[in-house]
Amino acid sequence: MENNIFSKFNIYDQIGYLLVGSVGLLVMVFNLYLMSKNNLIPPFNAQNFLAWFVCAYFLGHIAQAIANVFIKENKKDFSESEKEILEKAKKYFEVEKNSLNEIYLLCYMFASAKDITGQVQSFNSYYSLYRGWMIIFSLNSIFTLYLFIINWFSLLFLSIFIISLLLVWLFYRRSKRFYAYSRGKVLQTFIILSKNKL
């Protein structure tokens, strides 16, 4: 069982890093192509696949690290129904003096360890994925705004800037939605698993 949990955690997270980093690399290559810097783009082939793979993975970690600095979810704002569940969790875990945020973290660990469906981890991974893509396109927006200005207000770079901003907005909304799904799934899983003991 422990190996199964560990492998689910690894698969979801590692694929998320790769997908975020891969999109980041594609955006960088696209920008270099637009700037006519094709000579700076190494060819993608079987010989350098491993180098591209490692770069994508590393870039995914960088994007998530940047996201951790700039994106702060409100982890203390619980609805009334969530507070009710967390009060039950206090009794279940026998930690009456802990804050609701600390109780939620206990519920998260409990749900992650016992969730055989993998929904808690998958919703959390989707949240991280959209958050990472939001960072990639936020950085691209800044870069294309710079290109727009130095290229005498080129319509092409303005279009890419607007598309990047639209993608930032869409990925922001998706990340918020999957954060809510993840949080709800943690508490639902706790209720199901602790039903006979409350």
User: Token match 């319509």: residue?
Assistant: 155
Determine the Cα–Cα distance for residues 42 and 39; give it in Å rounded to an integer: 8
Residue-level pLDDT at 1: 42
The count of domains in the chain is 1
pLDDT score recorded for residue 10: 58
pLDDT at 198: 54
Which range of residues forms the domain containing residue 121?
2-197
What is the per-residue pLDDT across 6-18, written as a single tens digit (0 to 9) for each? 445 557 778 889 9
Q: Give the C-alpha separation, 191 to 94, whole Å.
A: 16
